[in-house]
Amino acid sequence: MPGRGRRPIPRTPPGLQRTTAPGGRIPPDLVHRDPSAAAPARAPARPRGDRVHAPLRQPPRHRPAAAWQTWEHRVREALRTGTGDDALLRALAHTVATHPRMRDTVETYLTTAPAELDFTGFDDEADYQAYVDAYVLPAFMLIATLVAPEDDDGAFRAACRTFIDGSQRLDFVNDLAEDVREGRTGVPAQTLNRFSLTPENLTSPHHTDNIRQLVIHELTRARADLEHAAQLPTLAPKPFRPLLSALIEIELLTADAALQRGAALLQGEASPPPAGALRVLLNALRAKRTSRHP
């Protein structure tokens, strides 16, 4: 069943979290000046062991079902009344009022989010792809809808689907150490079996070469999707193109860093090299300023 995976985007979406300056914030010049459009991107990032969540991205797996139902009710009430009982809900209500098309995006995500309570992993690639369609993409669209063209004919959403497929696959591989400690992974069981691996033997020193081959296989697929998503910025309104370009480039840097770590991902995740990430952000800032003052 779609949504059986553990975290579609239980934090700032894969990639967007990595596209941050020191202190965990997206450089403000990369965000369009419309305050309501920038609001979701302003959620402060935290280390990945202490994930950050905007109002709708509170991770259900860390919350009892009853607590999630209470939170969902508060969100829906904020949508109904146009206000909320805390600052985040009020920001959400304001964003939806300013960008009415966000309402459908939020409603879709609220419908899919409870699936996070039922993690059993993925049986095969088809299971993972169904998860991306039913859960990961709706979560990413919480951000992407705010930078989408008003007259999207489906091309922008399709490019988002390509990007988030690669980004989520990268995230699952990069999170192997954390996932293995929990006795499960975001890599489909069929894929693990192809490399003679199981969640239980991933930590065995006798399977290092198999793990390295698994990492290469998954990251090659992830990188191909991320490269194919290069058209995404060209489909967005001009003010948002530098941000989206930086998002993709940071993910590619992270994929390269993860590939270099190989089986050592079982000891900890990879991060994009600081110098490379800074270069990407500076280039994006220059592009943003150039587009503003041609």
Of 284, 281, 285, 260, the closest CA to residue 271 belongs to 260
Distance (Å, whole) CA 256 – CA 123: 27
Distance (Å, whole) CA 228 – CA 22: 29
Residue that has been written with the tokens 């590619």 in this structure: 252
- CB–CB of 141/160 below 8 Å? yes
Distance (Å, whole) CA 223 – CA 244: 16
Q: Model confidence over 82-130: pLDDT tens digits?
A: 999 889 999 999 999 999 999 999 999 999 887 666 667 899 999 999 8
28 phi/psi in degrees, rounded to 5: -60, -30
- CB–CB of 178/154 below 8 Å? no
Residue that has been written with the tokens 């062991």 in this structure: 49
Q: What is the pLDDT of residue 96?
A: 95
Distance (Å, whole) CA 25 – CA 45: 7
Count CB atoms within 10 A of the CB of residue 213. 17
According to DSSP, the residues that pair with 25 across neighbouring strands are 21
Q: What is the pLDDT of residue 15?
A: 54
Q: What is the pLDDT of residue 65?
A: 77
SS3 (DSSP) at 25: strand
- CB–CB of 291/239 below 8 Å? yes
The segments of the chain whose pLDDT lies below 50 read: 1-12, 20-25, 33-60
Count CB atoms within 10 A of the CB of residue 80. 9
Please give the full DSSP string across 210-267, using - where no structure is assigned: HHHHHHHHHHHHHHHHHHHGGGHHHHS-GGGHHHHHHHHHHHHHHHHHHHHHGGGGGG
CATH architecture of 28-292: Orthogonal Bundle (1.10)
- CB–CB of 36/56 below 8 Å? no
Q: What is the pLDDT of residue 28?
A: 52
